[in-house]
Amino acid sequence: MESKMFKRLIPILGVLAVLLSACGPQGTPTMAPADVQNTAVAAAWTMVAMTNQAIPTITPLPPTETPSPTPLPTFTPIALPTIMGSLPTPTTQPVSSDPDSCIKPLDTGEAGPTVRVRLENEAGGAMNVSLNLWTPNAFGQCGAISTTLGKNESSVLDLPKGSWWHTRG
């Protein structure tokens, strides 16, 4: 009887062995050599691309604005009182054709920062005053400004900074 039972038990043990081996851990699959090579090449190209992205680019700096002199308010002469009789007519001196000449009217709007100056006429009559910025200042401006002061009259002018000389008549 034992041999019969043993004969019946062998197929059951065989089926059990097959079922248990199916539930066990799988073997580690191996890659084909071509797949290993293609993966290595792809990793190398990825590293090259990332290195190229990390290289700093030459970006041009934005242009720097050069500050220009701010135009200042222009000189507005003070209204003069009416005088009986006639005043001498001022004569205009010819303007030099040399662009670097200081014999010309001064453009106070482009001559830069100013200094406040007070002119007082203590003479016995009206007086014509000519103020001349005789050498170009820091803003490259030079020229003349003229004004008339009545008897015992004063005037306040904002003159551009620089080297000045005056005449009166």
- Max mean pLDDT range (19-23, 61-65, 72-76, 133-137): 133-137
Residue with more model confidence, 115 or 4: 115
27-79 pLDDT tens trace? 777 888 899 999 999 999 999 999 988 888 888 888 877 777 777 777 777 76
* C-alpha distances out from residue 66 to 63, 69, 142, Å: 9, 10, 22
Residue 87: band (very low, low, confident or very high) from pLDDT cuts 50, 70, 90 = very low
- What residue spans define the domains of the chain? 108-168
Question: Residue 138 pLDDT > 90, yes or no?
Answer: no
For the chain, what percent of residues have pLDDT higher than 90? 11
Give residue 136's pLDDT: 86
Judged against a pLDDT cut of 70, whether residue 85 lies above it is answered with no
Digit-coded pLDDT (tens) for 140-158:
888 888 888 888 888 888 8
Average pLDDT over residues 16-29: 78
Instruction: State residue 37's pLDDT score.
Output: 94
